[in-house]
Amino acid sequence: MPELPEVESARLVLERHALGRPIADVDDADTWVCRPHRPGEIRAALVGRQLTTAERRGKSMWCETSGPGPVLGIHLGMSGKVVFADADGRETDGGDYWQRGRAQGDHRFTRFALRFSDGTRLLLVDPRRLGRVRLDPPVERLGPDAGEITPAQFRVIMARGTAPVKVRLLDQEAVAGVGNLLADEALWRAKINPARPVDELSRAEVDRLHRGLRAAVAQAVGGGGVHTLSVVPARRPGLACPRCGAPMLRGKVGGRTTWWCSREQA
């Protein structure tokens, strides 16, 4: 599932190509991806306007529109990609979607599209149809972005309640943008067991986890995705901790598959 780094890559596609282009048409016919809007509702709100900014907090992405117009929210879901195509239909940007064996111009899985006045298009390509496009998304419910959260904000978030620390990291209203792999990486860096209740963490441990989270986000964004994180290759049976060589353990925390070092995160 896309996490913060993958969504940031999609935001950059918007920023590089989609801003300032007059919107000539909108394909919003997919009633599931565009719920709760009726077909034509997003089109009526956007045609004639321009996207003016490309914003992101955590795993949520949105664009301000001219006018002032409505905010356009785009969520990638588990398999979505934002793809920019030129006037001839050739995809010129869009992450690794076209490296999965599909030919250029294969638009079968386009669930939403903007056509600009110059003929270029912005597509939400989503084979599993789990993405979401909506007007005026409730981004105010999200917590601070995982890549920008301050030590003081992080201490407040970790001081509330008794939830396992990994569960708290995955709560998007607490910290926006942390998915399963980022959480495991941050906890591995901080040498904290993922099932530890947050109220048992010392201030030093909380601060260490904050540094681990920020470092994990920076590594994943710089490397092009969460697959580049240090502990990800060791998240398989029989493999060892990349740092100390102890066996890696697997279990469930908050219903999510979790890996941790048997020695340093005991």
127-150 pLDDT, tens digit each = 889 999 999 999 999 999 999 999
Residue 91 annotated as catalytic: no
Q: Cβ–Cβ contacts within 10 Å for residue 18, how many?
A: 21
**Four-point Cα dihedral 32, 101, 13, 172, nearest 10:** 50
Residue 185 annotated as catalytic: no
Sheet containing strand 110-116, strands side by side: 23-27, 110-116, 121-125, 81-85, 91-93
- Nearest CA to 95 out of 76, 108, 120 is that of 76
Residue 256 annotated as catalytic: yes
pTM, two decimal places: 0.84
CATH number of 4-140: 3.20.190.10
Range(s) for CATH 1.10.8.50 in the chain? 143-261
Please state which of the four CATH numbers 2.40.50.140, 1.20.1050.10, 1.10.8.50, 2.20.25.190 is assigned to the domain occupying 143-261: 1.10.8.50
Q: Which of 3, 8, 64, 185 is catalytic?
A: 3
CA gap 61, 110 in Å, rounded: 18
pLDDT, position 101: 56
pLDDT, position 98: 43
Range(s) for CATH 3.20.190.10 in the chain? 4-140
Residue 2 annotated as catalytic: yes
Q: Which of 56, 59, 134, 235 is catalytic?
A: 59
99: part of which helix (H) or strand (E)? none
Q: Which of 2, 5, 137, 194 is catalytic?
A: 2
CA gap 250, 258 in Å, rounded: 6
Q: Which of 129, 155, 256, 263 is catalytic?
A: 256
pLDDT, position 212: 97
pLDDT, position 19: 97
